[in-house]
């Protein structure tokens, strides 16, 4: 039996964006549970924690001054104003994960996706998840039971704005059924991992395959 071959590859910076309520959180949670090779980038935010959210797990909750200082010190890979608060991706964790051979999952908005792409270009894969209809999105937002009518109205307006940036993404999925959508996200990640330019170990591997045939270059 031959030994299985493991080649080093460049990590994927996997961005999953969607308006809130479109199912992105469920999909990213499933991905992180099922796949030990991808880990979540934990953003810093000036938004106050919601019930149940934990500092350092869901977000790093910081005050505006701390956030501004972090931005001034170049600690963010990207940052943006969203819903009247600041959100940013700390650079250090992403670099550590990549150095450890992991892929990184980003739950960030279109502004973040754009900036990350400017920073890291071909390593970034941008996936956008759309709701099947706006009525369904509103129904999902209301079923959470956590937000007032005013907040829901603001979220719907924000969702329409977020959706208008769909064409800044590499893949756009419609989340009609969450399991199906999750399957599609997994397929995208799998294919992206296999891309030739990410498989940095391939050059040596292919060279060794060729060299293992005696006089391969002289018999052509
Ligand atoms: P929420 O406050 O509901 O957790 O997130 C609001 C929005 O901010 C979501 O669309 C989420 O994707 C986005 N977001 C979260 N963290 C970041 C970040 O670090 N950078 C950017 N640009 N957006 C973020």
Q: Which of 107, 161, 165 to mutate to test the pocket of ligand 1 (most atoms within 8 A of CB)?
A: 107
pLDDT greater than 80 at residue 1: no
CB-neighbour burial class of residue 129 (10 A; exposed 0-12, middle 13-18, buried 19+): buried
Residue 148: per-residue pLDDT: 87
Report the first-to-last Cα separation within the chain, whole angstroms: 30
19-31 CB burial, b ≥16 within 10 A, e <16: bbbbbbeebbebb
Please tell me if the CB atom of residue 89 comes closer than 6 angstroms to any atom of ligand 1: yes
The better pLDDT of the pair 10, 35 is held by 35
pLDDT greater than 90 at residue 29: yes
Q: Which of 55, 108, 159 to mutate to test the pocket of ligand 1 (most atoms within 8 A of CB)?
A: 108
7 CA distance to ligand 1 middle (Å)? 34
Residue 218: per-residue pLDDT: 64
Please tell me if the CB atom of residue 129 comes closer than 6 angstroms to any atom of ligand 1: no
Whose tokens are 């999105």? That residue is: 137
Residue 217: per-residue pLDDT: 65
| Atom 22, ligand 1: residue with shortest CA distance | 112
Percent of the chain clearing pLDDT 90 (strictly above): 80
pLDDT tens by residue, 164-210: 999 999 999 999 999 999 999 999 999 999 999 999 889 999 999 99
Residues 6+ apart with CB under 8 A from 161: none
Q: What is the spatial distance between Cα 49 and Cα 22, in angstroms, rounded to a whole number? A: 21
209 CA distance to ligand 1 middle (Å)? 46
pLDDT greater than 70 at residue 35: yes
Q: Give mean pLDDT, residues 150-159.
A: 91
Q: Which residues pair with 78 in a beta bridge?
A: 89
Please tell me if the CB atom of residue 30 comes closer than 6 angstroms to any atom of ligand 1: no
Q: Which residues pair with 61 in a beta bridge?
A: 45
Q: Going by DSSP bridges, is the β-strand pair 85-90/76-82 parallel, antiparallel, or unpaired?
A: antiparallel
Residue 146: per-residue pLDDT: 74
Residue 108: per-residue pLDDT: 96
133 falls in which pLDDT band (50, 70, 90)? very high
Residue 205: per-residue pLDDT: 93
pLDDT greater than 90 at residue 2: no
pTM of the model: 0.92
pLDDT tens by residue, 100-122: 999 999 999 999 999 999 999 99
Percent of the chain clearing pLDDT 70 (strictly above): 96
Mean pLDDT of the chain: 93
| Domain boundary assignment for the chain | 13-210
Give which of 91, 82, 112, 98 is closest to 15, Cα–Cα.
112
| Atom 2, ligand 1: residue with shortest CA distance | 47
41 CA distance to ligand 1 middle (Å)? 11
Range 13-210: architecture per CATH: 3-Layer(aba) Sandwich (3.40)
Q: Give mean pLDDT, residues 44-64.
A: 96
Please tell me if the CB atom of residue 80 comes closer than 6 angstroms to any atom of ligand 1: yes
């Amino acid at each position: 039996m031959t030994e299985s071959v493991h080649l080093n590859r460049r990590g994927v910076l996997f961005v999953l964006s969607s308006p809130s309520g479109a199912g992105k959180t469920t999909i990213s949670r499933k991905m992180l549970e099922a796949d030990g090779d991808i880990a979540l980038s934990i953003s810093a935010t000036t938004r106050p924690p919601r019930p149940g959210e934990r500092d350092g797990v869901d977000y790093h909750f910081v005050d505006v001054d701390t956030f501004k200082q972090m931005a001034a010190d170049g600690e963010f890979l990207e940052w943006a104003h969203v819903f009247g608060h600041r959100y940013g991706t700390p650079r250090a964790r992403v670099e550590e994960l990549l150095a450890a051979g992991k892929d990184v999952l980003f739950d960030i908005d279109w502004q973040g996706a754009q900036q990350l792409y400017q920073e890291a270009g071909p390593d970034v894969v941008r996936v956008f998840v759309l709701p099947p209809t706006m009525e369904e999105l509103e129904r999902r937002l209301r079923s959470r039971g956590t937000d007032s009518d005013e907040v829901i109205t603001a979220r719907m307006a924000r969702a329409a704005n977020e959706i208008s940036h769909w064409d800044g993404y590499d893949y756009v999925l419609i989340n009609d059924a969450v399991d199906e959508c999750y399957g599609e996200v997994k397929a995208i990640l799998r294919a992206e991992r296999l891309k030739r330019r990410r498989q940095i170990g391939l050059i040596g591997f292919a060279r060794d395959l060729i060299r293992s045939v005696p006089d391969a270059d002289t018999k052509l």
